[in-house]
Amino acid sequence: MKNNGKLRLPPKAALFNAALPMFIFTLAFVLGPMIYMVVLSFMQREGNWGVAANFTLRNYARIGEPVYLATFAQSVRLAFTTTILTGALGYPFGYYMARLKPVWRGRVMLLIIIPFWTSSLMRLYGWIIMFRANGVLDSMLLKLGFASGPLRLLYTYPAVVTGMVYALIPFMIYSVYASAEKLDWALVEAARNLGASRFKAFATVSFPLTMPGLFSGIVLTFIPSMGLFFIADILGGNKVVLVGNVIQEQLMKAHDWPYAAALSVMLMAMTSLFIFLYRRLTRSGDLEGLV
Amino acid sequence: MRGAKGRGRKIYIALLLTLMYVPIVLVIVYSFNQSRLSSVWSGFTLSWYRELFRDRAIFEALRNSLVLAVISSFSAAVIGTLGAVGMARLKPPPGKIGKAMEYLSILPIMIPEIILGMVMLAFFSLLGLPLGMLTLILAHTCFCIPYIYLLVKARLAGLDKSFAEAARNLGANEWRAFRDITFPLILPAVVSGILLSFAMSFDDVIISVFVTGPHTNTLPIRIYSQMKTGVTPKTNALCTLVFAATVLLCILSTVAARIRVKTPKKEQSK
């Protein structure tokens, strides 16, 4: 970032900056409420709806109960599985895409944008049609002779993983593409000319240079995957219960807000830790291809 | 790069793209399926569309979603654009404060949506705001602002600042320099930010589920509850129509992108 050429403002005008509404908005509706959430997580539930302003650690102790610990473990496992699969499938796509001719790049980009902009519920709905008993997949496998009866894939863990990977893969593709597009291919060619094998050239030149894209793709996949409760809900039935589902249930059905707050604080702590590690590993603050 | 290896790459891309479209195609195909229950094809029909158009609740949800997406993407555009311009002018001080300001600007997209929904629900009820359209608009505006901010910021970073400076040297005041020079130059970013925000607001399930009241349905919330209670081909029909609108919007925005390359200052959206 170059700073020369920018206009200098008198300090007084800087105070009444145009960015003020944005900061006020974020402070009022995000940061403030987040602080409130932390406070809420130390309060006591009262009656069926209410909250009493007594300090307690009970909500956090409750997270340690085996049922809830198992939920956390399942969420983390699902998030890891999703992230790894998304990376494995999305990285080559983004990387190859950057090597296409510009015309084709534009076309492929449009083809990714359309599903990305399509209602995520509609795309999930397509998977229901695909997965349900005697659905499209079952009858296809049956016809081809790969299966003898319905697989009953809907409401299983693999169904949820499929839905998650499917929903999140565009983020990975964008991030990897954004960093592969900036890659200087002459470097790769130089490595090849100097005798490096195709694999070695990739491992020593292309991969390290596209790593920022991969890492930001991982962050963009991992964080939402902890909270996408509606995918687990729709494709997993009640077999796959994530932290997100528990939070939603505690808020909307059980009306135990302090406990929901404590769960959210834990989730937030986990994702913050993840972002922190990401920053440490990549030594960068910016996310590649975030938008 | 050529030969068998290059072909392998293209096949990989084509395969993954096909897989991305399979669920969408299924929904469209089955919206014309006569049978109510099974996935077996039993003949072409338009009756689900007919039934859809008789459903008043769906039209109300559609109207709510449109109102919500328009208001929140435009409010976010104003606040986010001002934010990006203001931050560029403010030149956030280097070090901790500057970083904190940067972080605060994009905070809503750095935290998981579910937490954003939860904190907003808790906060709105603390304030005593009745849940409904107002809280939906506030929440959606909030999560759209960072996208506009980032897009405009990126565009500003690529701009030649000497234009605006020249205008100011020629005697234009701050506002005129912004209106006549900077704004037309960042307009493409603002327009794509609005389109992106619109799409995200229109599609949002997680935050909406939390901050909506019992009497305000948006289209995604309605579809979500339908999917949970029972699968009917009417939902397929609805999704197909929404998809058609999405594709149209995508094409329009691509066309808009082409137009603005040639003539930077012409009306692009709509």
Instruction: Provide the residue ranges of all domains of chain A, joining segments of one domain with +.
Output: 57-284
What pLDDT band is residue A4 in, cutting at 50, 70 and 90? very low
Interface contact flag, A125 B22, Cβ < 8 Å: no
Q: Which of A4-18, A151-165, A245-259 has the lowest mean pLDDT?
A: A4-18
Residue A32 has what pLDDT?
93
Interface contact flag, B24 A115, Cβ < 8 Å: yes
What mean pLDDT do residues A48-68 have? 83
Of residues A157 and B252, more confidence is placed in A157
Q: How far apart are the first and last CA of chain B?
A: 42
Interface contact flag, B111 A30, Cβ < 8 Å: yes
What pLDDT band is residue A13 in, cutting at 50, 70 and 90? low
Q: How much is the pTM? A: 0.84
CB-CB neighbors (< 8 A) of A32 in chain B? 123
Q: Which of A75, A275, A7, A27 is nearest to B173 (CA)?
A: A7
Q: Is B16 on the interface with A (CB under 8 A)?
A: yes
**Structural contact between residues A36 and B127, judged by C-beta atoms closer than 8 angstroms:** no
User: CA-CA distances (angstroms) from residue A174 to A7, B96, B172?
Assistant: 33, 30, 40
Interface contact flag, A230 B86, Cβ < 8 Å: no
CATH number at residue B177: 1.10.3720.10
Q: Is residue A159's pLDDT more than 70?
A: yes
Whether ipTM > 0.95 holds is no
- Boundaries of domain holding B198: 36-242
Interface contact flag, B86 A9, Cβ < 8 Å: no
Q: How many Å separate Cα A217 from the centre of its chain?
A: 8
Q: Is residue A137's pLDDT more than 50?
A: yes
Q: Is B66 on the interface with A (CB under 8 A)?
A: no
Residue A5 has what pLDDT?
46
Residue B131 has what pLDDT?
92
User: CA-CA distances (angstroms) from residue B146 to A70, A216, B143, B187, B202?
Assistant: 34, 17, 7, 16, 17
A275, with CB counted inside 10 A (0-12, 13-18, 19+), is middle
Tokens representing A186 are 């002459």
- Total count of domains within chain B: 1
User: CA-CA distances (angstroms) from residue A58 to A248, A267, B119?
Assistant: 19, 17, 20
What mean pLDDT do residues A12-26 have? 76
**Per-residue pLDDT tens listing for chain B (270 residues):** 445 557 888 899 999 999 999 999 988 988 888 877 656 677 788 888 888 888 888 889 999 999 999 999 999 999 999 999 888 877 767 778 888 888 888 888 888 889 999 999 999 988 999 999 999 999 999 999 999 999 898 888 877 777 777 877 887 777 788 888 888 888 888 988 898 899 889 989 999 999 998 888 999 998 888 887 766 788 888 889 888 888 887 777 777 666 554 444 444 343
User: CA-CA distances (angstroms) from residue A118 to A124, A146, B11, B147, B210?
Assistant: 11, 32, 24, 18, 22
> What secondary structure letter does DSSP report for A273?
H
Q: Does residue B121 form part of some domain? A: yes
Q: Does residue B267 form part of some domain? A: no
> What secondary structure letter does DSSP report for A156?
S
Interface contact flag, B223 A121, Cβ < 8 Å: yes
Question: CA-CA distance, B223 to B189, in Å (whole number)?
Answer: 31
> What count of other Cβ atoms lies within 10 Å of the Cβ of residue A143?
9
Interface contact flag, A33 B101, Cβ < 8 Å: no
What mean pLDDT do residues A204-224 have? 85
> Which among A1, A14, A30 is the nearest to B142, CB-wise?
A30
Three-state helix/strand/coil letters over chain B: CCHHHHHHHHHHHHHHHHHHHHHHHHHHHHCCECCCCCCCCCCECCHHHHHHHHCHHHHHHHHHHHHHHHHHHHHHHHHHHHHHHHHHHHCCCCCHHHHHHHHHHCHHHHCCHHHHHHHHHHHHHHHCCCCCHHHHHHHHHHHHHHHHHHHHHHHHHCCCCHHHHHHHHCCCCHHHHHHHHHHHHHHHHHHHHHHHHHHHHHHCCHHHHHHCCCCCCCHHHHHHHHHHHCCCHHHHHHHHHHHHHHHHHHHHHHHHHHHHHHCCCCCCCC
Q: Is B86 on the interface with A (CB under 8 A)?
A: yes
Residue B66 has what pLDDT?
94
What mean pLDDT do residues A264-279 have? 85
CA nearest A244 in B: which residue? Answer: B114
Q: Does residue B23 form part of some domain? A: no
Q: Is B255 on the interface with A (CB under 8 A)?
A: no
Q: Does residue B127 form part of some domain? A: yes
Q: Does residue B77 form part of some domain? A: yes
Q: Which of A108, A24, A124 is nearest to B205 (CA)?
A: A124
**Structural contact between residues A221 and A212, judged by C-beta atoms closer than 8 angstroms:** no
Tell me the nearest-neighbour CA distance from B64 into chain A, angstroms: 16
Q: Does residue B67 form part of some domain? A: yes
Q: Which of A13, A21, A70, A71 is nearest to A247 (CA)?
A: A71
All residues at 6 or more sequence positions from A190 whose CB lies less than 8 Å from its CB, including other chains: none
What pLDDT band is residue A78 in, cutting at 50, 70 and 90? very high
Tell me the nearest-neighbour CA distance from B266 into chain A, angstroms: 23
Q: How far apart are the first and last CA of chain A?
A: 19
Tokens representing B30 are 């089955």
Question: CA-CA distance, A144 to B51, in Å (whole number)?
Answer: 36
Residue type, A113: I
Residue type, B185: L
Q: Does residue B42 form part of some domain? A: yes
CB-CB neighbors (< 8 A) of B220 in chain A? 119, 121
What pLDDT band is residue A290 in, cutting at 50, 70 and 90? very low
> Which among B16, B119, B224 is the nearest to A230, CB-wise?
B224
Q: Does residue B147 form part of some domain? A: yes
CB-CB neighbors (< 8 A) of A279 in chain B? none
Interface contact flag, A34 B110, Cβ < 8 Å: no
Residue A82 has what pLDDT?
95
- Chain A to chain B, count of Cβ pairs less than 8 Å apart? 256
CB-CB neighbors (< 8 A) of A6 in chain B? 88-89, 91, 161
Q: Which of A149, A158, A138, A160 is nearest to A233 (CA)?
A: A160
Across all residues in chain A, what is the average pLDDT? Answer: 83
Q: Which of A110-124, A244-258, B159-173 has the lowest mean pLDDT?
A: B159-173
Interface contact flag, A291 B147, Cβ < 8 Å: yes
Q: Which of A22, A26, A11 is nearest to B91 (CA)?
A: A11
CB-CB neighbors (< 8 A) of A100 in chain B? 10, 13
**Structural contact between residues B36 and B230, judged by C-beta atoms closer than 8 angstroms:** no
CB-CB neighbors (< 8 A) of A19 in chain B? 82-87, 90, 105
Residue A263 has what pLDDT?
93
Interface contact flag, B86 A29, Cβ < 8 Å: no
User: Domain spanning A57-284 has what CATH number?
Assistant: 1.10.3720.10
Cβ burial A238-248 (10 Å sphere, 16+ → b, else e)? eebbbbbbbbb
Interface contact flag, A30 B108, Cβ < 8 Å: yes
